[in-house]
Amino acid sequence: MIVLKFGGTSVGSAPAQRNVIEIVRTRLNKKPVVVVSALSGVTDMLYKAAQGGEGLQDVIKDLKDRHFSLIRELIQQDRRLCIQTQKDVETFIDFVEKTASSATELSDRDKAAIISTGELMSSVIVRAALCCNGIPAARIDARDFIIATGDPLKSEPDTDEINERTPDAVNGAFDGLTPEGERPQAVVTQGFICSSGSGKPSLLGRGGSDYSASLIGRALEVEAVEIWTDVDGVRTADPRRVPTTRCLKRISYEEAAEMAHFGAKVLHPLTLEPAKTIDIPVYVLNTKNPDGECTVILNKDKVTEPVKSVSYKNNILVITLSPRQSMNTAGFIKRIFDIFSEYRIAVDLISTNNARVSITTDSCQKNLDKALEAAGEFAFACIDEGKAQISAIGSNAIIMNSILKMTFKPLRDSKIYMISPGASSVNISFVVDREKMDETLRETHKYLIENESCN
């Protein structure tokens, strides 16, 4: 068996979905389990719908236009299937409209239910498109087997439950019949969405479809997980910001996780964890260029070439805290981090100076205001929004040395506000002014990756 995960841009237009169909066709002998994201942009629309209030009607109209025109374009050859698919999608959109207008302030569960419809709708369309093109396919609901607990909008997977339920759900679908009465050659399901053990709707957090694919791959012990996206593999930097990137052909699970954590947009940071437990290779490929370059992510024993890359985060806050009264440094830091841990604030970089501590964190942290209010009792907080964080990532401690040397050289002209070598010793990150980010990224990439002779 094989898991093929298609992201929002891969399923978001008729030409892209035609590529998806051909990619699935070449893998039919491997029993493909197709995991899909919502059409690109739809999850954002649904988050907006879940806010309720003004603008809901516009979102509903956009959702209809977007899905119906895709259905008409893709499934037109089969009138009956086209009408049925439209009906199924309409039921989901009606649900969104009804739920979103049912209360002024929706619960997180209701929001999760609304947002889940993006993946449910795209899976209905992808299944129909496969069938319409001669690939009988069954659709299963990921909420029956991806079980997760905690925050409904960002739940933690219960891997024991998932490992137990997924094989039955998938094998059952392959052994059953499609709604058209045929034996399925592919099974389609949704990424990102899950449910609590008692069946309440929840989500794995933004970008979570990759994570779903890996969880499903692990549960089925598949031969490979393929993540189909819109770039040629994992690159040495974001190609939209650095024009001269290279594809990384083989990287280890740890390196890929580090890159994702430090801002590389290709994979959700937790994707590799399930695959790694039983050494399933994870491929990153481009739906628009299926025969182009790709990356395979493997156990580190199988990766010999040193890997280097540069990533960034531009939505960070640098928060500097200093004690209101003189206090010993260790005691102060402990109190600060107790609060961050209580409010579940994910801290990226840390540096301390005398009794002051500076940290970086994503600007969209849910409870940040509350945490800072609690810290305000004994600390002054200074928040700087105008900064960006750049991380140079290399595969071992030797590379680390040259990264340090190289990282500083091209940066002589940039003011560096904070620098923090990663505890795992495969990365080093620094904070610069946001306006300097693109330039610094390109310079660092040039020095670290393009000019091999400087290393």
Interacting residues with ligand ASP (CB under 6 A): 7-8, 37-38, 43, 118, 191-192, 206-209
Interior angle at CA 424, CA 286 and CA 270, nearest 5: 40
For residue 266, how far is the Cα from the chain centroid?
7
Q: Which of 201, 207, 274, 281 binds Mg ion (CB under 5 A)?
A: 207
Contact 3, 222 (CB under 8 A): yes
Count CB atoms within 10 A of the CB of residue 275: 25
Which of ligand ASP, Mg ion, none lies near 191, with the C-beta cut-off 5 to 8 A by kind? Answer: ligand ASP
Residue 88 token pair: 């199924």
CB of 188 to ligand ASP, least distance (A): 15
Cβ proximity to Mg ion: between 7 and 157 the closer is: 7
Cβ proximity to Mg ion: between 191 and 281 the closer is: 191
Backbone angles phi, psi at 106, to 5 degrees: -85, 150
Segment lying near Mg ion (by CB under 5 A), choices 15-23, 111-119, 203-211, 368-376: 203-211
Secondary structure (DSSP) of 173-215? HHHS--TTS---SEEEEESSEEE-TTS-EEE--TTTHHHHHHH
Which of Mg ion, ligand ASP, none lies near 427, with the C-beta cut-off 5 to 8 A by kind? Answer: none
Cβ proximity to ligand ASP: between 19 and 133 the closer is: 19
Which of Mg ion, ligand ASP, none lies near 323, with the C-beta cut-off 5 to 8 A by kind? Answer: none
Which of Mg ion, ligand ASP, none lies near 208, with the C-beta cut-off 5 to 8 A by kind? Answer: ligand ASP
CB of 122 to ligand ASP, least distance (A): 9
CB of 62 to ligand ASP, least distance (A): 15
For strands 137-139 and 186-190, give the pairing: parallel
Cβ proximity to ligand ASP: between 12 and 32 the closer is: 12
Cβ proximity to ligand ASP: between 184 and 208 the closer is: 208
CB of 180 to ligand ASP, least distance (A): 28
Which of ligand ASP, Mg ion, none lies near 52, with the C-beta cut-off 5 to 8 A by kind? Answer: none
Residue 104 token pair: 């002024």
Question: In one letter, which amino acid is 173?
Answer: A
CB of 231 to Mg ion, least distance (A): 11
CB of 191 to Mg ion, least distance (A): 9
CB of 5 to Mg ion, least distance (A): 9
Residue nearest to Mg ion (CB): 207
* Largest interatomic CA distance in the chain: 76
Residue 389 token pair: 């964080």
Ranges within 5-64 binding Mg ion (CB under 5 A): 7
CB of 257 to ligand ASP, least distance (A): 16
Question: In one letter, which amino acid is 161?
Answer: E
Kindly state the helix (H) or strand (E) to which residue 323 belongs, with its residue range. strand 316-323
In whole angstroms, give the CA distance from residue 169 to residue 174: 9
Which of Mg ion, ligand ASP, none lies near 206, with the C-beta cut-off 5 to 8 A by kind? Answer: ligand ASP
Q: Would you give the DSSP letter of residue 181?
A: S
Residue 424 token pair: 């795992």
In whole angstroms, give the CA distance from residue 85 to residue 231: 30
In whole angstroms, give the CA distance from residue 6 to residue 37: 6
Which of ligand ASP, Mg ion, none lies near 217, with the C-beta cut-off 5 to 8 A by kind? Answer: none
What residues have CB less than 8 Å from 379, skipping those under 6 apart?
321, 322, 323, 324, 332, 335, 336
Interacting residues with Mg ion (CB under 5 A): 7, 207
